């Protein structure tokens, strides 16, 4: 288990996805600079390990991601929790921070440790039921109505900030990889069909991506199987999606993370309307970022209008608050009590 020595409070960050790896790196850099210690863990997942390596960060790998069945999810999660218990049996962290790690929350709560949780998906009902009631602090965008969180019998202090989570790693970001896919470049992200919150939802993003090929080269970012698809560019290995959407002329997705990463860098981003509670996307749109939402059938028409409309959003970005500032302040408060 890599423990980065540095000073006062020992913070444990557990990342379950690529997005969370980026979040953890941003938090770790700041807290180490403040003199705190960091423990970074993740699970074996298509998006986590290659990204951590590209960011030059060492995460301890505990368990793996296997969404095949509910039984597999439960089994793998329980094994992770037991592994964490063994690791922290004699030297536990003071604070646990995550973006909804069920495994971390259960272990940290059982050890009597302070839990800081970041939240940006009100529709992730199963995760919220297993994490929010155990948390001491909840950090979330002011875009999210507090009532959507309080319904989970939350006893935590809720800190809302005037920004979005992605600011943490998009701030000061400079694309580190130049992709030569041609121009115009359109990036389409597969819907996370195996997520618990996506049960019984279906969006044919492959068919949509093929329709968009008349506008330019379409790179299809698959979540599960990186098999060739006729007419589309399907990267076989790891690709830095943050750098990719910075270079793209348009992004189309269903969820929020890469959609917001694109818009925060001035790339027009379309979110297909299927998920409820997309408060954070609406927030950025209201702030003036090139964020759009559309019914699936209307996406090609909207895409045709948006390709080539890339713009500078620096003046808008500088007005957004950084959640890392909030987390740092909370850790400092905890430090005073230890």
Quick check: is 294 in a domain?
Answer: yes
Q: Give the number of domains in the chain.
A: 2
Average the pLDDT over 207-216 and give the result: 97
Q: Tell whether 27 and 154 lie within a shared domain.
A: yes
Alpha-carbon gap, residue 133 to 121, rounded angstroms: 16
In a domain, 178, yes or no: no
Neighbouring C-beta atoms of residue 30, cutoff 10 Å: 18
Confidence at 191, pLDDT banded by 50, 70, 90: confident
Is 177 part of any domain? no
Rg (CA), the chain: 20
Residue 209 is assigned to a structural domain of this protein:
yes
Residue 241 lies in a domain: yes
Q: Is the pLDDT of residue 5 over 80?
A: no
Residue 144 is part of which domain span? 3-171+322-337
Alpha helices in the chain (DSSP H): 18-33, 49-54, 70-87, 102-110, 125-131, 147-150, 167-170, 205-211, 241-247, 257-264, 279-286, 299-306, 314-317, 323-337
Better-predicted residue by pLDDT, 192 or 288: 288
**CATH number of the domain that residue 92 is part of:** 3.40.50.2000
Task: Give the global pTM.
Answer: 0.92
Residues 144 and 209 in one domain: no
Q: 176 in a domain, yes or no?
A: no
In a domain, 199, yes or no: yes
pLDDT of residue 310: 93
Which region among 8-12, 118-122, 171-175, 197-201 has the lowest average model confidence (pLDDT)? Answer: 197-201
Q: Is the pLDDT of residue 146 over 90?
A: yes
81, 216: one domain:
no
Q: Are residues 162 and 18 in the same domain?
A: yes
- Same domain membership, residue 307 and residue 326: no
Within this chain, do residues 209 and 306 fall inside the same structural domain, yes or no? yes
Same domain for 99 and 153, yes or no, is: yes
Q: Are 183 and 249 within 8 A, CB to CB?
A: yes
Co-location of 198 and 98 in the same domain: no
Residues 30 and 100 in one domain: yes
| Shared-domain flag, residues 251 and 132 | no
Name the residue with tokens 């698809």: 229
* 3-state DSSP assignment of residue 290: coil
Same domain for 118 and 213:
no
Are residue 130 and residue 228 in the same domain, yes or no? Answer: no
Give the pLDDT confidence of 28-58 residue by residue, as tens digits: 999 999 999 999 999 998 889 999 999 999 9
């Amino acid at each position: 288990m890599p423990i980065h020595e540095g000073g006062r409070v020992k913070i444990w960050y557990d990342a379950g996805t690529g997005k969370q790896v980026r979040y953890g790196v941003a938090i770790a850099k700041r807290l180490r600079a403040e003199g705190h210690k960091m423990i970074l863990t993740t699970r074996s997942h298509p998006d986590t390990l290659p990204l951590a390596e590209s960011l030059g960060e060492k995460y301890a790998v505990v368990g793996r991601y296997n969404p095949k069945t509910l039984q597999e999810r439960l089994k793998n999660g329980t094994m992770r929790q037991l592994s964490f218990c063994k690791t922290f049996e004699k030297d536990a962290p003071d604070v646990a921070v995550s973006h909804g790690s069920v495994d971390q929350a259960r272990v940290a709560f059982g050890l009597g440790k302070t839990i800081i949780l970041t939240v940006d998906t009100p529709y992730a009902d199963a995760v919220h039921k297993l994490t929010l009631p155990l948390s001491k602090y909840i950090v979330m965008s002011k875009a999210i109505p507090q009532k959507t969180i309080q319904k989970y019998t939350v006893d935590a202090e809720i800190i809302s900030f005037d920004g979005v989570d992605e600011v943490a790693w998009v701030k000061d970001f400079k694309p580190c990889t130049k992709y030569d896919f041609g121009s115009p470049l359109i990036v389409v992200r597969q819907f996370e069909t195996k997520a618990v919150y996506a049960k019984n939802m279906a969006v044919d993003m492959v068919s949509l991506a093929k329709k968009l090929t008349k506008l330019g080269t379409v790179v299809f970012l698959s979540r599960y199987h990186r098999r060739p698809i006729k007419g589309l560019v399907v990267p076989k290995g790891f690709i830095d999606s943050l750098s990719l959407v910075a270079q793209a002329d348009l992004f189309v997705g269903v969820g929020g993370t890469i959609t917001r990463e694109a818009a925060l860098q001035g790339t027009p981003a379309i979110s297909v309307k299927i998920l409820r509670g997309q408060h954070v996307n609406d927030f950025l749109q209201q702030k003036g970022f090139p964020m759009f939402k559309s019914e699936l059938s209307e996406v090609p028409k909207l895409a045709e209008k948006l390709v080539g409309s890339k713009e500078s959003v620096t003046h808008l970005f500088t007005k957004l608050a950084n959640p890392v500032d909030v987390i740092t302040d909370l850790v400092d408060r905890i430090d005073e009590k230890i």
